């Protein structure tokens, strides 16, 4: 049986990859994918702990997270399309309208 710690370490690695690529990548779609990766890393820890403590709460939270992620992806992709239509680019460094 695989120890819980392994899952957590894997989740931490996945989360770090997500954070890292979020910070490094310029393409907005790739950034979006790294957000999904972070969410899934968190989901993995929820599942691991739920299994470890024999509690159902973690499993339920995973469903919530997936629902929110699906909704966010839908809205996010719509925004991405809108941005692409107006600015003809997906490079976030060029989308800095809110800069002071």
Partner 1 sequence: MSPQTSMTPAYYLWLIPLLPFVGFLINGTLGRKLPRAAVTAVALFFTAIPAGIVAWLWSVMTATNAPEAIHAVSRPWIAISGFQVNFDFTVDHLTLIMLGVVTGVGFLIHLYSAGYMAHEEGYWRFFAYLNLFMFFMSVLVLASSFLLLFVGWEGVGLASYLLIGFYFKKDSASDAGKKAFIVNRIGDFGFLLAMFLLVAHFGNLNFTDIFSTITQHPEWHGGFLTAIALLLVVGATGKSAQIPLYIWLPDAMEGPTPVSALIHAATMVTAGIYMVARCHTLFDRSATALIVVAIIGAATAIVAASIGMVQHDIKRVLAYSTVSQLGYMFLACGVGAYAAGIFHLLTHAFFKALLFLAAGSVIHALSGEQDMRNMGGLRKRIPITFWTMTSGVFAIAGIWPFAGFFSKDEILYQTFISDNPIAKLLWLVGLVTAGMTSFYMFRLWFKTFFGEERFEEAAHDAHSHESHDSHAHGVHESPWVMLLPLVILGILSLVGGWGHVAFGNFLDPVFGSGAVAEVATTASHSLELTLAAVSLIVVAIGFFFAWLFYYKKPGTAAALALKVKPIYSLLENKYWVDEIYGAVIVTPLLMFTRLILGGLVDTGLVNGSGALAGATTRGLSTLTRRVQSGNIRSYAGWLALGAAAILVVMIFGRSLWVH
Is residue 97 at the binding interface for partner 1, with CB under 8 A as the rule? yes
Q: Is 86 in the site for partner 1 (CB under 8 A)?
A: no
When binding is defined by CB under 8 A, the residue of 8, 19, 42, 65 that contacts partner 1 is 19
Residue of 2, 23, 56, 74 that binds partner 1 (CB under 8 A): 23
Rounded Cα–Cα distance for residues 46 and 56 (Å) = 10
Using CB under 8 A, list all residues that contact partner 1: 19, 22-23, 31, 92-93, 95-100
């Amino acid at each position: 049986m695989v120890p819980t710690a392994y899952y957590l370490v894997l989740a931490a690695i996945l989360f770090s990859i997500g954070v890292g690529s979020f910070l490094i990548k310029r393409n907005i779609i790739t950034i979006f994918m790294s957000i999904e990766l972070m969410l899934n890393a968190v989901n993995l820890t929820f599942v691991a702990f739920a299994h470890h403590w024999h509690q159902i709460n973690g499993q339920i939270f995973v469903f919530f997270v997936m629902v929110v992620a699906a909704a966010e992806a839908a809205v996010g992709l719509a925004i991405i399309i809108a941005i692409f239509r107006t600015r003809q680019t997906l490079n976030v460094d060029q989308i800095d309208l809110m800069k002071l």
